Amino acid sequence: GGVVAARVRFRAPPWTRQLAGRSSRGPPKAPEQARKSEHSTESPAETTSGQRGGAAAVAAAEVSAAGEAAGDAAASAASTKAGGAGATSGIGGSSGGGGSGGSGNGPPALFALPLYRKPAFPGFYQIVQVSEQEVLDFLFELRKSGQGELLGGFMTKELPSKFAENDAEPSIPFPAAGQKGSTLARTQGQGLRRDAGRVGAVAELEEVGTVLQVVNLTQYPNISGGQVVVMPQRRVRRTRVVSEPSPNVSLAAVNVEYLNEPEVPQGNGDVKALHLEIIATMKELLKTSFLYKEQFEQVIKFYDLDHPIKLADLVAGMSLAQRSDLQSVLVETDIVERLRKVLTIVKKDLEFARLQSQVKSQVEENVTKEQKRLMLMEQMKQIKKELGIEKDDKQSLISQFQDAIKDKTLPEEASKVIDAELAKLGTLEPSSSEFNVCRTYLEWLTCLPWGKVDPENKEIQKAEDILNEDHYGLEDVKERILEHIAVSFLKESVQGKIMCLVGPPGVGKTSIGKSIARALDRKFYRFSVGGMHDVAELRGHRRTYVGAMPGKLIQCLKITQTSNPVVLIDEIDKLGRDYRGDPSSAFLEILDPEQNNAFRDHYLDVPVDLSRTLFVCTANTADTIPGPLLDRMEVIRIAGYVFEEKVAIANQYLIPQTAETSGIGTDRLDLDTEALNKMISDYAREAGVRHLRQLLEKVSRKVALSLVRNKAEAKDEAKAEGEAEEAKETEAVKEVEKTHITMENLSKYIGQPLHYSEQLYAAGKTPPGVVMGLAWTSLGGATLFVEARGRLPRSPIGRGGFGLPSPVGTEDSVKEVFLDPDSDSSKRPNSSMNGFMKVTGQLGSVMNESSAISLTYSRLFVRELDPANTFLDEAHIHLNVPEGATPKDGPSAGVTMASALVSLALDRPLKPLTAMTGELTLTGKVLKVGGIKEKVIAARREGVETLILPKHNEADYSELKDYLKAGLTAHFVDHFDDVYQLAFDKAQVLSLPFPPRGLPVVSVSTPLAPTASDEGPKPLSDEGTPSNGGSSTPLPGGEPLRQPTPAAAAAAGVSGDASRQR
């Protein structure tokens, strides 16, 4: 409830009887007519009596009856007393001694009107919004009966529930068609601002309030509730509760006593000073706040500002302060304290008004600028239109689209679609939703590079230099790119192709895509499809959907603005598939050279030529790529980097890059060759160089921290001694001082080694029954051992391992034997042979079948070699592949398992430093396997000297660079007879009683240090030992190439939880 402006002039006193029947529902009516219009039901007394006193008595009787029904004896007594007095007495009546009840001898009794927002201060009109219809009806009844002229206004101690003190006044809704105003009023009573209402008990009200003279009552026509115009008279204090509120009586009745206003002392300096300060603050407030200014100007005409008490009430009544602060002003009886509290309130209002004015000025400034710009733009548009310089927005858009395709070579279908859409756009209104859809579609159609092709680099040497500058090794990829350039040069046209780079993480598959684009002078675009499930990411959404947009390939053409970019599709082996579609099926068209010349995006729905795009896909393994999709791509496998390649990459790329990015520079870091070799062999065995880069970055960071700390310590020491010149010299020395990383302090920077040799036996000397095999994994190559031990059923001593005497000088015997828990004869195969074999090591189904084939063939082979040797037929054998936590499977372990069983049967070990791979048939043939490069890298890492490989893998081995084969002697065999002759020492085993049954063995021996060649990297390391008769040729730097040992392992290792496929 704010201050009511004094602009309203009342012709007659506001408490005249004419106001008793006045309402906003219609013109003033007679008392009887007003009662009939306000209530549909009338009592007999109301209809028969035309006198005011009789009406008051009937109203009092009704109040009494309601009070009795509610069990309120005090209300009943008060109502009965009012009825007996007639028109001359009653609660809150206009007669009877200023509103006193009864005969005028007792204290005044008033109905208490609860005020929610703020207390009422004497002296000026106030509008009170009443949202509860029952309270307003009760006031109307009191007014008609002559008892509601005076009320007691008491503020509630607490705000009602779900009530915000700063709620804005809501708009008043109007009834819908066909809905009665009374029904709407009952259902939407909550839409009115709540200034007053009802409470549950008198205890919820403050003790000090104000006598309110009711000036006018108004019922809202279309909503529940109304407003009450009151004039606060003077302060009162409630002394006793006459009656509590009840369901039938909305307001409580209380006895009150009038409070006298404090006397203003004459000549009091505090009062005068506070009075003047309040006036000065109000003047500042009126300058700042328009709301205060409007109210003050209308009220000041009827107020005496020279009176401190009236001024305090005026300022407090206009203030927007907290309820508790305003109530304390109303209660205060000391004039000085009251003025102090009012001054505090008005000061807070002034600060709030200043802040509000500041925010308003900032907002208005921004709005003014924007409005000015819009106005000028509109004026400029009209001026250009009058001069014919520019057409309207629609014609301008059409002109822009036509200019965008003017110099482009569009296909016939795309041209027809664009023309149709432009004609459609010209007929649409800019305000329609279809206009924006058509506009967006034309923007995509016209922004594509139709027929635009960037010239391609045709200089072979330039492209080769760029590829060598960015990457070391990767000759297969570089050779393929140079071939592509040569074909484009001969055909004199730009060609597209689909290539897939398959290799372990960190070998440079993604970065090689950028180098390919730079070497070909093409634009580059990359997007990853790992985990992609939605086909719309590739083909786009149909235009019927809200927010539809084209797929990635159309976005690529828009961004690159060329029809022949290099598109890198990353992680294509990790595509997802669900109910939204199968993206791999969408790639069948995109990556098919016979179909992608007319690729249709769901959004554009016109053919787009992708045949000139060079697609480069990357994958860690090709096994998860669907077969039809893999068939459309040219697969280039990247096996990883060996030790020498990693050394060269570190020296040429990684060390300079990490030194620069860390801020130390190459002149402050000195990494010894031995430390780098140890870092590669014992810390970074993965196939790629990503972990090696991380280790070098860690070293660079620690070096940077050490340099900064040393510099700070030197400055502090020089400052403490006061020697500025010496500090400068010391700092200069620190600037050029290098940090040396050696074998001794390497662990200080990067911790302890993560990897050790995979060899289980010293110097590669394996016991009988143990053979080193070679494996391929998605992370590179690895070595693994196959162990076989066994014993005869009645023999207490087992065979295999180091348990039996052997010609190689082993004397100790081991009593430990392997017992099979499933040795029940009922579980053995139906055969005359009592021996059986148990296989462990978490092998897959393929390796289990290989073990069964190996056992069958080994039994036959040993019997052919020595008919008296029946160990494999009768013994209980246990075949194990170590690291049982790692799953293993693949068709390449047959030869290794058969060699282990034959070694166990003969009780003779294999030659030291010998490894083999190959699949075995029941007739002894050795079949071709895959992953030769990875397996050779693993063999070199473990210092193997002799390799036994399948005959049909000779071509794969010959394609390897010489630095990968350095120090290795590879034997290519076609039958197990040759494996037997090559793997065992002829002096310790029996000779074959028949000539070998396979093709002739081909042996390839590569010197430990190959001659200088441009094909491979220059090997770096220390001394090595020649193998298989190879010679150690010194390098140009004077150091011979070292033999790969466990301490100098190169290329990819296998983590403990990685899945090994063989």
Residues noted as catalytic: 892, 935
How many residues would you count in the chain?
1062
Which residue pairs from 842-845 have beta carbons closer than 8 angstroms and sit at least 24 positions apart in sequence? 842/884, 842/885, 842/886, 842/887, 842/888, 843/881, 843/888, 843/889, 844/887, 844/888, 844/889, 844/890, 845/889
Q: Residue 649's Cα: distance from chain center in Å?
A: 36
The closest alpha carbon to 650, from 693, 687, 682, 691, belongs to 693
Q: What is the DSSP letter of 5?
A: P
Residue type, 8: V
DSSP H helices, 782-882, are 845-865, 871-874
CA atoms within 13 A on the CB side of 216: 21
Distances (CA, A) of 688 to 642, 693, 752, 814: 9, 10, 20, 43
| Whether the Cβ atoms of residue 159 and residue 194 lie closer than 8 Å to each other | no
CA atoms within 13 A on the CB side of 722: 0
Q: Residue 536's Cα: distance from chain center in Å?
A: 21
The closest alpha carbon to 205, from 242, 237, 233, belongs to 237
User: Which H or E run includes 278?
Assistant: helix 269-288
Residue type, 13: P
Residues 6 or more apart in contact with residue 913 via CB below 8 angstroms = 763, 764, 943, 944, 945, 946, 1027
The closest alpha carbon to 639, from 680, 687, 683, belongs to 687
Helix axes 412-427, 393-404, angle to 10 degrees: 170
Residue type, 327: Q
Distances (CA, A) of 59 to 33, 42, 92, 218: 16, 11, 13, 20
Q: What is the DSSP string of 1003-1054?
A: EEE--SSPPP-SSSPPP--S-----TT---PBPTTSPBPPPP-GGG--S---
**DSSP E strands: which ranges in 638-759?**
669-671, 739-741
Q: Which tokens sit at 113? A: 């009107």
Task: Please state, in angstroms and rounded to a whole number, the distance separating the CA atoms of residues 489 and 653.
Answer: 32
Q: Which tokens sit at 666? A: 């190459």
Q: Buried (b) or exposed (e) across 484-502, using 16+ Cβ within 10 A? A: bbeebeeeeebebbbbbbb
